[in-house]
Amino acid sequence: MMQFRNLQQQYEVLKPQMDRAIQSACAKADFISGHEVKELEQQLAEYVGVKHCITCANGTDALTLALKAWGVGPGDAVFVPDFTFFSSGECPAVVGATPIFVDVDEATFNIDPARLEQAILEIQREGELRPKVVVAVDLFGLPADYEAITKICEKYGLLLLEDGAQGFGGTQNGRRVCSFGDISTTSFFPAKPLGCYGDGGAIFTNNDEWDALTRSYAVHGKSGEDKYNNVRIGLNSRLDTVQAAVLQVKLKAFIDYELEAVNQAARWYDAKLQGKNMRLPVIPEGRTSSWAQYTVQLPEGSDRAALQAKLKEQGIPTMVYYAKPMHLQGAFAGTRSAKADCPVTERLCRTVLSLPMHPYLTEELVSAVAEKLD
């Protein structure tokens, strides 16, 4: 059966380097905060083009740590796209803030800048919450419209938190994902564009104070000088040394050929799906995607479940990201967060379908998928 994201094949290709890296980390028995972690942070910061990288236990913690560094909490409004993974809205709620869900652009799946400004003005008119942060998600690998979003944040005095969990490796006007936010974050969940062999995450910033704060919050709120002097309430959120060693091997492959390979796979899909009764992904001028997913939109009213079942019978896996808008999630029922007008998101949740996508797809495999999509 075809793999949706072929991590087994990736391991087979990288096996010699990967086994050496893991064995080396294990032989040194320096499992927590070993030198591979520090090396990886330097490599990631250099690749992204920012001053600081702070690794942590997962992408969800990365978002939470950024919000804690900014002191975000009760009474604060955090603007989040309605069409995204749950953690983008969960993390503001965890620190006591109120997620305000904003509709997305139908073509790019990313937060709609015009709807964002409308949401900010609405919260200002209501007067009950303080507009504080915008969470911009680089969904499916594509950077959000940072030219427009940054202007809005500057206009209204808001902090910009870039959730680059799906977009690592993408670019906009020559700048890489995870360099656009006042703080940016990513996830190293195995299926992400750059993933490890477990959970992991990272935070990026050019701000020295926020670097120090997130490092403190990530290790039980410890003082920089004395790990047994805890000066704030934090988390236990560190990237293991073995995972850092895995990521060093994967980062090299990602830079050397994987990123170009997924873009080639996307070009094959674009060519072979032309003329099919579906809407293909759009990459605006000046942006590149890291293709965490290749997501099409089926016609409204299509029997998506039947199509998925038919493809599954023929050995072709598919996924639906995401089937329910954020504002309709049960966790937000009865709260201010549930009061969102997001018709584009609701339509996308009914029509999107993600196809197999990874750096080891061949043109023959892409053709096989395309032929079955009637």
> Cβ-count burial of 111 within 10 angstroms (0-12 exposed, 13-18 middle, 19+ buried)?
buried
**What residue type is 40 in one-letter code?**
L
Q: What are the extents of the domains in the chain? A: 7-102+110-250, 257-372
Q: Tokens 């018709």 identify what position?
A: 343
Helices and strands: H and E segment counts in the chain: 12, 12
**Residue 352: predicted pLDDT:** 98
Cβ(369)–Cβ(355) under 8 Å?
yes
Per-position pLDDT tens, the chain of length 374: 799 999 999 999 999 999 999 999 999 998 998 999 999 999 999 999 999 999 999 999 999 999 999 999 999 999 999 999 999 999 999 999 999 999 999 999 999 999 999 999 999 999 999 999 999 999 999 999 999 999 999 999 999 999 999 999 999 999 999 999 999 999 999 999 999 999 999 999 999 999 999 999 999 999 977 778 999 999 999 999 999 999 999 999 999 999 999 999 999 999 999 999 999 999 999 999 999 999 999 999 999 999 999 999 999 999 999 999 999 999 999 999 999 999 999 999 999 999 999 999 999 999 999 999 97
> ∠ at Cα 240 (360, 191), nearest 5°?
25
**Residue 57: predicted pLDDT:** 98
Cβ(66)–Cβ(214) under 8 Å?
yes
Asked whether this chain's domains 7-102+110-250 and 257-372 adopt the same fold, the reply is no
DSSP 187-243: E--TTSSS--SS--EEEEES-HHHHHHHHHHHBTTB-SS-TT-B-S---B---BHHH
The fold for domain 257-372 equals Aspartate Aminotransferase, domain 1 (3.90.1150)
The fold for domain 7-102+110-250 equals Aspartate Aminotransferase; domain 2 (3.40.640)
User: How many whole angstroms separate alpha carbon 266 and alpha carbon 165?
Assistant: 19
User: How many whole angstroms separate alpha carbon 163 and alpha carbon 149?
Assistant: 13
Cα–Cα nearest to 103, from 327, 318, 262, 303: 327
